[in-house]
Amino acid sequence: MSFAPSTAAADRAESFVSYSAAAAPIGFERAAFERAAARVTATRGEISVELELRHSGRRALTLRYETQGDASLPALFVAGGISAHKHLAPSREFGEQGWWECQVGAGRSLDPTRYHLVSFDWLGADGSLDIALDPADQADAIAALLDALSIGRLQAFVGYSYGAMVGLQFASRHPARVGEVISISGTHRAHPYAAAWRALQRRAVALGALQCDESQGLALARELAVLSYRTPEEFAERFGAAQVIDGRVRVAAEDYLDHCGNKYVARTSPTAFLRLSESIDLQQVDPSSIRAPVTVVAVTEDRLIPLSESYDLIERLRGETRLRVLRSIYGHDACLKEQAQIDTILREALADCTSVAA
């Protein structure tokens, strides 16, 4: 295992890895990818469970999941941000686009011909749970799902953003059930600055509701969120100066932000957004309780997860750790945009985990 503890400033500096846009491409054109996807088998289902939720007591819940790849292969649980869902990538049975198909598919880092990929819809994602939801609740729900699927242990938990937070919770609460955690742009606690940003987003939804237009409030909340996901550098490259149109000053980025807001409203309920946004702010896990190896992936320009938080996480973890630091104008969204760099990190981490398991 090539994980290395990183506890001192010198160690931190040596653990930096910089990737450039010239990194090796993933290598699948769209047509080839679709042909490969047509050979991948997938299943969907739902199970009913009862769980003791941290802030909301015992509840009857429905867990909706999807798997890709043969169940006899090493199992990986894959989870994204609060807007992500159970469908990772196209397959023979479910051909629609997935939220992370840049990394999931035959020949890619998360290859369903090599791994049994498991994912689910977050508790509360359908808007039916108007209660406080903790990331620990999501971790316990995943454990219940694995029980139902007869998966005793994951080879790895691959999480991005909120999914990374839940992955750390899972490793803390169910240590015997995971061999490794890959935590991308997510840490052990919610930073107060990021939490304040999300609180303002939730107030936008509340103001919309007061005006009997909750969808407009949700759209505005999403637009504010997009500003936190991306960076000033990206906006400077993409957008020009403001213009006067029909006597009103219109900023160049407004059309893009409006598109993001309207697209989000079309697929997300206000209740789901509010409760999952709150859930991020409830993240609190003691890194010293995590014994599994952890790969921490941080982005220098990420304004929601400051680099100092990733340093604090790796210094407090008790298992073997690896830190990978990217530079990207996409900030928090680098995981979705820097495809080659993330591919390289995932392959390296999973290869280490596979060699130890063997």
Q: What is the pLDDT of residues 258-279, one digit of tens each?
A: 999 999 999 999 999 999 999 9
In whole angstroms, give the CA distance from residue 95 to residue 115: 19
Q: What is the pLDDT of residues 66-100, one digit of tens each?
A: 999 999 999 999 999 999 999 999 999 999 999 99
Domain that holds residue 27: 9-190+283-357
Work out the average pLDDT over 135-160.
Answer: 98
Whether residue 264 is contained in a domain is answered as yes
- Asked if 205 and 169 sit in the same domain, the reply is no
302 is catalytic: yes
CA atoms lying within 13 Å on the CB side of residue 308: 5
Binned at pLDDT 50, 70 and 90, residue 112 comes out as very high
pTM: 0.90
Work out the average pLDDT over 118-127.
Answer: 98
Whether residue 2 is contained in a domain is answered as no
55 is catalytic: no
Whether residue 49 is contained in a domain is answered as yes
**Position of tokens 């429905």?**
62
- Asked if 92 and 142 sit in the same domain, the reply is yes
Q: Residue 40 has what pLDDT?
A: 81
Q: What is the pLDDT of residues 170-182, one digit of tens each?
A: 999 999 999 999 9
- Asked if 337 and 263 sit in the same domain, the reply is no
Residues 222/261, Cβ–Cβ less than 8 Å? yes
Candidate list 332, 333, 343, 352, residue with the active-site label? 332
Binned at pLDDT 50, 70 and 90, residue 56 comes out as very high
β-pair partners for 298: 325
Number of domains in the chain: 2
- Asked if 315 and 333 sit in the same domain, the reply is yes
Candidate list 119, 161, 172, 185, residue with the active-site label? 161
Whether residue 109 is contained in a domain is answered as yes
In whole angstroms, give the CA distance from residue 356 to residue 345: 17
CA atoms lying within 13 Å on the CB side of residue 105: 26
Candidate list 121, 134, 281, 302, residue with the active-site label? 302
**Mean of all residue pLDDT scores within the chain:** 90
Whether residue 261 is contained in a domain is answered as yes
Q: Which of 257, 279, 301 is the last residue of a domain?
A: 279
- Asked if 82 and 162 sit in the same domain, the reply is yes
**Model confidence at 325: pLDDT above 80:** yes
Whether residue 178 is contained in a domain is answered as yes
Q: What percent of the chain has pLDDT over 90?
A: 85
- Asked if 178 and 98 sit in the same domain, the reply is yes
Whether residue 3 is contained in a domain is answered as no
CA atoms lying within 13 Å on the CB side of residue 268: 31
87 is catalytic: no
Residue 247 sits in a domain whose CATH number is 1.10.1740.110
